């Protein structure tokens, strides 16, 4: 990942965009592909679709969701404190003290998730995880009127932890899920746009995955592609108390994870393995017995069916304020997927 790519990655990760409020992040994603792809469109759900070589065969849809988990403003009290509902799946115990950014009527508003200080809690309360309804956001307002000059009910936001480098090529941020995937499909499109592409490739930056895979239902139907590859993040077992027997020996820094199971077309899986081998890229295999919980779940049954695969970037501490991944895994995902696309032609047989 060169400096230009890292700056794009950092910009994506640090842009606030929970499910249903992805417009700013999508604008950044679109700008990365302007002048690179043959066409680009945005639908009424906010999904963005970029296309290369529209007459090529077979047709391929690359999908990554650009939304993050976040919250929506539900009520502002007389003292100016903001009460909220979750957008997506939070562990409430990870929220108190988080810095957050709300996209308000005058622009971004910084706040802090508040909870009664531990010094003031009863002994029993200290042992309990908080309920989201008992938390609030402090934006520094001196009352309701001042808060309402900045915010309105229905405004939304997310955590505001910027991207930070750790040791080596590890990084941490709050929205690597799935801005890392959005980065990958944009960089793949840039990589394969230089020529030699025989397939038609569409990159779908989809919305509202965190609240029900909604955007990808629309992009998959609209695309009607022969092949669909979802790019997302997934949990790993390389942490204290991580269970290899539950999820497999999956590790950060060991390459992208290729899913294998009922949702994955076996021919697509084989071609992804071959692409990784051809590129000399490390990879891991994850067994998914019933489904993956990703956009692949809706892509493979779109219309008359789509031959799907799933590439996942190994990531620790998902849905927390400090998710962790390795940039080398991100680069390897770009390399594998780019090679997979270049190797496709109209003779490909995807019949299991």
Residue 177 to residues 57, 66, 147, 319: CA-CA distances in angstroms? 31, 8, 30, 7
Beta strands in the chain (DSSP E): 39-42, 48-52, 59-65, 70-76, 82-87, 99-104, 107-114, 136-138, 156-159, 164-165, 170-173, 200-206, 227-234, 257-260, 284-287, 307-314, 323-326
* CA pseudo-torsion sign 33, 15, 92, 324: positive
Question: 341 and 188 in contact (C-beta within 8 Å)?
Answer: yes
Beta strands in 89-180 (DSSP E): 99-104, 107-114, 136-138, 156-159, 164-165, 170-173
From first CA to last CA, the distance across the chain in angstroms is: 36
Count of all residues that appear for the chain in the document: 352
Question: 306 and 299 in contact (C-beta within 8 Å)?
Answer: yes
Helices (H), 3-139: 3-14, 23-33, 123-126
Q: Is the peptide bond before 178 cis (omega within 30 degrees of 0)?
A: yes
Q: How far apart are CA 26 and CA 255, in angstroms?
A: 27
Q: Which residue among the candidates 22, 68, 187, 209 is catalytic per the annotation?
A: 209
Using DSSP's 3-state secondary structure scheme, residue 154 falls into coil
63: its two tokens = 């999908």
Is residue 209 part of the annotated active site? The answer reads yes
Q: How far apart are CA 299 and CA 227, in angstroms?
A: 9
277: its two tokens = 């081998």
Helices (H), 87-194: 123-126, 144-148, 176-192
Catalytically active residues are 209
């Amino acid at each position: 990942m060169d400096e230009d790519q890292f700056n794009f990655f950092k910009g994506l990760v640090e842009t606030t965009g929970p499910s249903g409020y992805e417009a700013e992040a999508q604008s950044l994603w679109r700008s990365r592909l302007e002048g690179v792809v043959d066409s680009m469109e945005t639908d009424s759900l906010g999904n963005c679709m970029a296309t290369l070589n529209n007459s090529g065969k077979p047709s391929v849809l690359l999908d990554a969701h650009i939304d993050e988990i976040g919250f929506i403003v539900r009520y502002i009290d007389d003292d100016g404190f903001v009460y909220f509902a979750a957008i997506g799946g939070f562990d409430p115990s990870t929220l108190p003290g988080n810095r957050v950014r709300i996209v308000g009527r005058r622009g971004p508003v910084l706040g802090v998730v508040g909870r009664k200080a531990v010094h003031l809690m009863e002994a029993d309360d200290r042992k309990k995880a908080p309920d989201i309804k008992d938390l609030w956001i402090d934006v520094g307002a001196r009352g309701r009127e001042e808060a309402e000059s900045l915010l309105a009910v229905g405004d939304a936001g997310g955590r505001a932890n910027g991207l930070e480098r750790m040791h080596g090529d590890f990084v941490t941020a709050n929205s690597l899920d799935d801005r890392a995937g959005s980065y990958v499909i944009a960089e793949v499109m840039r990589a394969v746009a230089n020529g030699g592409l025989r397939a038609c490739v569409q990159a779908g930056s989809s919305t509202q995955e965190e609240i029900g895979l909604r955007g990808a239902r629309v992009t998959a139907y609209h695309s009607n592609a022969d092949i669909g590859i979802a790019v997302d993040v997934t949990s790993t077992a390389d942490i204290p108390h991580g269970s290899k027997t539950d999820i497999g020996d999956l590790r950060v820094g060991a390459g992208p994870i290729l899913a294998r199971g009922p949702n994955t077309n076996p021919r697509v899986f084989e071609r992804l393995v071959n692409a990784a081998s051809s590129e000399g890229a490390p990879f891991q295999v994850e067994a998914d017995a019933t489904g993956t919980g990703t956009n692949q779940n809706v892509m493979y049954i779109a219309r008359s069916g789509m031959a799907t695969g799933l590439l996942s970037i190994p990531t620790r501490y998902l849905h927390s304020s400090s998710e962790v991944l390795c940039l080398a895994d991100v680069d390897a995902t770009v390399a594998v997927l780019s090679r997979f696309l270049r190797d496709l032609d109209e003779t490909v047989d995807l019949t299991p």
